[in-house]
Structure 1
Amino acid sequence: MTSLFKHTALAAMIGLSTPALASLAYVSNEKDNTLSVIDTESMEVVDTIEVGARPRGILLSKDYTKLYICASDDDTVQVLDLATRKIVDTLPSGEDPEQFSLHPNNKHLYIANEDDAIVTVVDVTNKDVLAQIDVGIEPEGMAVSPDGKWAVNTSETTSMLHWINTETFEIEKNIVVGQRPRHVEFTKDSKVAWASAEIGG
């Protein structure tokens, strides 16, 4: 597996267990402008897909039919059809999209725009930008709670979690955490959020 990740600045893996899609992982290759498709049973690369410039975060639609891709240097979110493995659409994203999270409604995409210190909210069904929310410096991680009530963004330089009300698109609380938080994840019951602190250890 060393050769697979040799030129991969950011690897985001998504396991699929639906019968039609088998057990596959999709990995974004930031420097190669590609996605690697890996069969998780054989641990072999079964396809390489060309995508936009500097692909960063990737995530599945809730119905497992699409893969959303942050093409950071193209300032867009690309939509990959998983059946054909072709890019079928693009969405507005704000400048330098890094990571994102999809609301349980399968419509509202929360995107961290690192260069502009904002979170952009996009409706994936009609491509409307619903909101742009000012957050801390170098926003990166994004998560939406499974109950759909909160979107949380991590700002690396500010070392904060920004809690966004998903009904009003307004920040209700900022919480200081360890240095350089880069990822945030909710438990399935939405009661706990975990945040990494890269420099804080």
Structure 2
Amino acid sequence: MSSIRERNQELILRAASQEFAEKGFAATKTSDIADRAGLPKPNVYYYFKSKENLYREVLESIVEPLLEAAEPFNQPGEPAEVLRAYIRAKIRISRDHACASKVFANEIMHGAPHLSPERVAQLNGQASHNIARIQGWIDQGLMAAVDPHHLMFSIWAATQTYADFDWQISTVTGKASLDDSDYEAAAETIIRLVLKGCDVREGSSAA
């Protein structure tokens, strides 16, 4: 029974991510989510109680990967190693959680009305920690004196674009959809731009 429940919840959550990403919260109908999941509409209410709860679950499904992506900043490591790992993790999120990433980006653009204050504080706290870590490397002379806030914003924008504008990127590259080689090339390009552009010292030890 539990496996059926988990399967149905996963189907509904995936369908909801796609519907919310395409239409936004207000325009999405519960019936459309059910149709996309291939399940009766009452199942959506049975498992998630309301469209609002389901929307919050979609947001929750991306918050944890975002926090996990920042884990390199919470561990000892040199700047190049940490930034490289973070950028790769953010690209993986755009590849593996594209729809939920779009939903999250739209939520943020509207002032995060559905994210709990606890989650907002957690995400902001991690971002502040990341920025402070970058400032520490700058103070140690391990990288150029760039603005750490805007460096973080630039990394977010560069990696998020592969979720938000995947259709445009596919169209420009002449592909039906992006494949692993495209995401690998994206990660390597962004890493090179960040490390070279910020004059990050390779092989330097940092607390």
TM range (shorter): under 0.3
Report the TM-score, using the length of structure 1 for normalisation.
0.28
Q: TM-score, normalised by structure 2?
A: 0.27
Larger fraction in helix: 2
